[in-house]
Amino acid sequence: MDTHVVAGGGLTAAKAAETLRAEGFAGRIVIVGAEPDLPYERPPLSKGYLLGQDDRASVFVHDEKWYADQGIEVLTGRRVTALDRAAHEVELDGGERLGYTKLLLATGASPRRLRVPGNDLDGVHYLRRLSHADRLREALRAGGRVVVAGAGWIGLETAAAARTYGCEVTIVEPAPSPLHATLGPELGGFFAGLHRRHGVELRLGTGVTGFAGDTTVTAVRTDTGEIPADVVIVGIGARPETQLAEEAGLAVDDGVCVDAALRTEDPDIFAAGDVASVWNPAYGRRIRVEHWAAATNGGPAAARSMLGREPAYDDLPYFFSDQYDAGMEFTGWFPPGGYDRVVTRGGDEAFHAFWLAGDRVVAGLHVNQWDEGLDAVRELIRSGRPVDAAALADPARPLPS
């Protein structure tokens, strides 16, 4: 019997297994996940679940009965520790070996750690797993002084959650604006203003040098002084879990290198989700995206490729965020320095923004513009058509025009 194995137990794995069955694969499917829980979605961990708005059951992709009904084996609390390409086997942490016909690497990413004194003190939180969100939610419910290290998406969303719980919040960020590397200073200023209006203190251009405390954190040390803290949240990015692929001799750069069909140079091994560095024909290069869409779309695309359907996975990168009363969606991509200007249309609290390289749109975002959304933005990006920046900025001109 053909056996398709998925190394990793997150959303990518669940969507891949679901698609394998939906597309008619009748063989054995085994998901090997390091966490003790069934596959779940991660966005609620810094949004609704962290805020107590979503219950625990709502974060899971499927319940246990669904996997049983589909004949999908889910090994929770287990880890693939080695990959034998010649034997078509993976080794698990208990020493047993599992043969595969096709293998999907969906090992995801892990939070980057702050390598500073005191980083192992109680009260210093990272957010990646459901168990992390459980501990952080209890800490925020207790109130007190919260210091967030990093003004990326995780940092900003957890800061918003902490303020919603009534905590006193300070964000420490070495860049000159929030989301500086992701969105640039133009939109970083909007998010800085949003958090300041909600009572957050931002210390920009400031680095964390250590954490103070005996066993529990009491302060964050920065290059401009100490900040008292009862809770610290570190959100400085994530690194892809590429060790399995590297040790097996597969090509790795920022992630596991795959083609547009999500296939590695080994024709029987695929990669998708946060761990995959995917060839994107629209940009003519590999791109790794650490967001929900990479999992929910990449998992099914990898499954179809495992079945020999050779799909071209050319989805535009996409992510969304909710902070206070601001909901936003972003699509597209640009490298550092890969745009010339940002054009906005709309008001201060509901608007679109477009990143232009020359006279072409390479990325777009909206804040609270749910009626128009991103469909027209995606079409502008994909078409590569030159645009009139003045018309783009004019709210009287419909975006599709």
Residue 44 is given by DSSP the state G
**CA 176/CA 31 separation, integer angstroms:** 42
The alpha carbon torsion through 48, 49, 52, 57 (nearest 10 deg) reads: 120
Evaluate whether residue 286 is within a structural domain. Answer: yes
**CA 170/CA 159 separation, integer angstroms:** 8
Helix (H, G, I), strand (E, B) or coil at 200: coil
Chosen domain end from 210, 234, 258:
234
pLDDT band for position 176 (cuts 50, 70, 90): very high
Helix (H, G, I), strand (E, B) or coil at 60: strand
Evaluate whether residue 401 is within a structural domain. Answer: no
pTM of the complete model: 0.93
Evaluate whether residue 252 is within a structural domain. Answer: yes
Tell me the C-alpha to C-alpha distance, in Å, between residue 342 and each of 7, 273, 389.
40, 29, 9
Give pLDDT, residue 349. Answer: 85
Give pLDDT, residue 335. Answer: 87
Average pLDDT over residues 19-26: 97
Average pLDDT over residues 69-97: 97
Evaluate whether residue 319 is within a structural domain. Answer: no
**CA 10/CA 68 separation, integer angstroms:** 17
**CA–centroid distance for 148 within its chain:** 18
Average pLDDT over residues 252-257: 96
Verify that 43 and 83 share a domain, yes or no.
Answer: yes
**CA 354/CA 363 separation, integer angstroms:** 6
Do 7 and 108 contact (CB within 8 A), yes or no?
no
Evaluate whether residue 351 is within a structural domain. Answer: yes
Verify that 26 and 136 share a domain, yes or no.
Answer: no
Average pLDDT over residues 18-36: 97
Give pLDDT, residue 283. Answer: 82
The count of C-alpha atoms lying within 13 angstroms of the C-alpha of 161, restricted to the half-sphere facing its C-beta, is 30
Helix (H, G, I), strand (E, B) or coil at 222: strand
Evaluate whether residue 32 is within a structural domain. Answer: yes
Give phi and psi for 59, each to the nearest 5: -85, -15
Residue 390 is given by DSSP the state H
Verify that 38 and 101 share a domain, yes or no.
Answer: yes
Instruction: Name the residue among 391, 397, 341 with its Cα closest to residue 372.
Output: 397
Q: In CATH, what number is assigned to the domain containing residue 368?
A: 3.30.390.30
- The amino acid at residue 234 is V
Region of 320 please: left (phi>0), alpha (psi -120 to 50) or beta.
Answer: beta
Give pLDDT, residue 282. Answer: 76
Report the number of distinct structural domains present in the chain: 3
Verify that 293 and 339 share a domain, yes or no.
Answer: no
Task: Please report, rounded to a whole number, the percentage of residues in the chain having pLDDT higher than 90.
Answer: 86
Neighbours of 133 (CB within 10 A): 23
Helix (H, G, I), strand (E, B) or coil at 59: helix
**CA 30/CA 358 separation, integer angstroms:** 48
Verify that 188 and 127 share a domain, yes or no.
Answer: yes
Chosen domain end from 196, 213, 234:
234
Verify that 17 and 94 share a domain, yes or no.
Answer: yes
Instruction: Name the residue among 261, 267, 306 with its Cα closest to residue 279.
Output: 261
Verify that 150 and 170 share a domain, yes or no.
Answer: yes
Strand order in the sheet with 326-332: 318-323, 326-332, 360-367, 351-357, 341-346
Evaluate whether residue 318 is within a structural domain. Answer: no
Verify that 86 and 225 share a domain, yes or no.
Answer: no
**CA 69/CA 82 separation, integer angstroms:** 30
Domain that holds residue 349: 325-393
Model confidence over 62-73: pLDDT tens digits? 999 999 999 999
Give pLDDT, residue 196. Answer: 98
Verify that 350 and 302 share a domain, yes or no.
Answer: no
Instruction: Name the residue among 129, 16, 11, 29 with its Cα closest to residue 74.
Output: 29
- The amino acid at residue 324 is Y
**CA 242/CA 245 separation, integer angstroms:** 5
Verify that 342 and 366 share a domain, yes or no.
Answer: yes
Evaluate whether residue 89 is within a structural domain. Answer: yes
Chosen domain end from 203, 234, 265:
234
Verify that 14 and 78 share a domain, yes or no.
Answer: yes
Q: In CATH, what number is assigned to the domain containing residue 222?
A: 3.50.50.60
By residue count, the chain amounts to 401
Verify that 163 and 21 share a domain, yes or no.
Answer: no
Average pLDDT over residues 51-60: 95
The alpha carbon torsion through 258, 264, 269, 274 (nearest 10 deg) reads: -30
